[in-house]
């Protein structure tokens, strides 16, 4: 039986997103009820534009694809802007969330992204190409991602610090 190309053109066209979308962790969870166990999925997703904006979200559903879609929609609602210094970060910072701690350190050009799985997803989505990181204490992906975003939100450049202190950027940079 011959198929025509018309079937493919009639399908809904996938809309290309302006964001980098990554699934950090996919977890199967079950709930025990009177009739047995109910299986569901939770997906931790990270999105970013590669130019200093990043967000993360958690989606839960009975199917994997639906959980991922919900996670990405949740991430789009929680986008934060990150202060960058070229291809790295302006200074060292520690992000905290729950028991998770993530140490973020600037690195010279050519170092690359030295980071674990959950931190790497956030860093690459934000568009940082040279950085060193270390997860301290917890390695739970949800807490590590939240701690990484917290650390990135704490970053300030010389201009922002100067404005808060009422000085010029040259005085702060010294």
Q: What digits encode the pLDDT tens for the residues 161-173?
A: 888 888 887 877 7
Chosen domain end from 42, 57, 77? 77
What was the pLDDT predicted at 31?
92
Strands 131-137 and 113-114 turn out to be parallel
The verdict on 117 and 70 lying in the same domain is no
The verdict on 128 and 66 lying in the same domain is no
Residue 27 lies in a domain: yes
Which residue, chain included where needed, has tokens 């977890």?
27
What was the pLDDT predicted at 72?
96
Compute the average pLDDT of residues 65-72. Answer: 97
Residue 7 lies in a domain: no
Residue 3 lies in a domain: no
The verdict on 99 and 42 lying in the same domain is no
Q: Minimal CA–CA distance to 127: which of 50, 53, 55?
A: 50
Number of domains within the chain: 2
Residue 56 lies in a domain: yes
Q: What digits encode the pLDDT tens for the residues 16-30?
A: 678 999 999 999 999
Residue 59 belongs to domain spanning: 20-77
Percent of the chain with pLDDT over 90: 75
What was the pLDDT predicted at 11?
47
The count of other CB atoms within 10 Å of the CB of residue 144 is 31
CA distances from 133 to 2, 53, 117, 123, 161 (A): 55, 19, 11, 10, 23
The answer on pLDDT for 8 being more than 80 is no
- CATH number of the domain enclosing 108: 3.30.230.10
Task: Quote the pTM value.
Answer: 0.86
Chosen domain end from 77, 95, 126? 77
Contact 121, 57 (CB under 8 A): no
Q: What digits encode the pLDDT tens for the residues 80-122?
A: 999 999 999 999 999 999 999 999 999 999 999 999 989 999 9
């Amino acid at each position: 039986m011959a198929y025509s190309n018309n079937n493919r053109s009639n399908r809904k066209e996938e809309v290309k997103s302006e964001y980098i979308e990554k699934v950090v962790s996919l977890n199967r969870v079950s709930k025990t009820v009177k009739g047995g166990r109910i299986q569901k999925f939770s997906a931790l997703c990270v999105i970013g534009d590669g130019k200093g904006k990043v967000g993360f979200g958690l989606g839960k559903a009975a199917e994997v694809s639906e959980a991922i879609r919900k996670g990405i929609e949740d991430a789009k609602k929680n986008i934060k802007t990150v202060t960058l210094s070229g291809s790295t970060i302006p200074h060292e910072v520690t992000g905290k969330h729950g028991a998770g701690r993530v140490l973020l350190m600037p690195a010279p050009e050519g170092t690359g992204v030295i980071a674990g799985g959950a931190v790497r997803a956030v860093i690459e989505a934000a568009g940082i190409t040279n950085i060193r990181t270390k997860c301290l204490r917890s390695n739970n992906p949800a807490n590590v991602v939240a701690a990484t975003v917290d650390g990135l939100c704490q970053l300030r450049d010389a201009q922002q610090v100067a404005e808060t202190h009422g000085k010029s950027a040259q005085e702060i940079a010294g």
